[in-house]
Amino acid sequence: MTAATRVLVLRALGLGDALTAVPALRALRRALPGIAEVRVAMPASLEAVLELADVDAAVYDQRGLDGRLPPADLAVNLHGRGPQSHRLLAATGGRLVAFGNADAGHDGPVWRDDEHERERWCRLVRESFDVDADPDDMALRAPSSPAPGAVVVHPGAAAPGRRWPAERFAAVVAWAARQGHPVVITGDASEHALAQQVAELSGVDPWVVAGSTTLTQLAGLVAHARLLVVGDTGVAHLAPAYGTPSVHLMGPVSPRLWGPDVRPRDESAHRVLWHGGAGDPHAQAPDRGLLEITVDEVVAAAGQQVTSAAT
């Protein structure tokens, strides 16, 4: 490949997807040291992920698989297993690097359903470019925080199936406030009403910033937090990126596939609460296993994390 080669990488999904792709994107960039033009087809609103990860690539604004992508000499599928994503990238005219898919007529590495998301994309890059790719290589540059040392609570998730009830989050907020910790409730603009509901139910006075922070500001809040309490949603992946102590509430998806740790550890900055079982992450009602997680469990885990971080 020459310095003029055009490389296009597809990851046109959400925040968590962008964050879990950081190790693979870094490895890919190392595999292509002389390439001047690397673009990642992803939502433009997530450009800060590349900036905080110091990934030398531009963003081509793309959400989902509709439309057309620009011409490329090399097209890398970090989006899915195909065939739709494969065909979208094949239409760029470039050589396709992707998992194998017979329907798309592409021969590549074998997709594994039981693989952690970060390891999956690292393996694709590793096997395709013969370069080291470490799924734990996801540390981000830490912006400043307007509330260093706060307990950050993020009650939202893209689908109701992954949302722990608001009244339970409120109980955790109340506990943190009683312990003397400043509490910040985060979320995007669509989650502002939920964040306000949690604040009101808590009976205390947390700082609600849902809908009023940029992604960079949100990253700063998590980077300098005393603790992050979060469900199975994109913000959860900021905790391992910064080594921030966290409590993760997992529901329909196993933490072995999407949790903060790729490899099990006896000691971890991240406590995962999961009652087992698999369900639909896009369901319109909270997952049964998620509802089995009690407030007492979360408070106990949160207390242990705060105590451990202080010693």
User: How high is the pLDDT of residue 98?
Assistant: 98
Same domain, 124 and 164: no
Is 85 within the bounds of a domain?
yes
Residues 184-219 pLDDT 10s? 999 999 999 999 999 999 999 999 999 999 999 999
* pLDDT tens digits along 83-134: 999 999 999 999 999 999 999 999 999 999 999 999 999 999 999 999 999 9
Examine residue 1 and state whether it is found in any structural domain, yes or no.
no
Q: Which domain holds residue 31?
A: 6-129
Same domain, 208 and 263: yes
User: If you average pLDDT over residues 64-85, what whole number do you get?
Assistant: 97
- As a whole number, the mean pLDDT across the chain is 95
In total, how many domains does the chain have?
2
Per-residue pLDDT at 4: 54
Cβ–Cβ < 8 Å for 85, 79: yes
Starting at the edge strand found earlier in the chain, the sheet holding 183-185 runs 207-208, 183-185, 151-154, 227-231, 246-249, 270-273
- pLDDT one-digit tens code per residue, 153-163: 999 999 999 99
Please, are residues 33 and 14 in contact by the beta-carbon 8 Å criterion?
no
* The pLDDT value given to residue 85: 98
Please tell me the distance from the alpha carbon of residue 104 to that of residue 38, in angstroms, as a whole number: 24
pLDDT at position 1 over 60: no
Give 287-301 pLDDT, tens digit per residue. Answer: 999 999 999 999 999
Same domain, 106 and 190: no
Q: Which of 109, 104, 116 is nearest to 130 (CA)?
A: 109
Shared domain check, 305 and 205: yes
The model's pTM is 0.95
Residue 45 lies in a domain: yes
DSSP-assigned states of every residue in 212-228? S--HHHHHHHHHT-SEE
Rounded mean pLDDT, 170-175? 98
Per-residue pLDDT, 2: 47
CATH number at residue 191: 3.40.50.2000
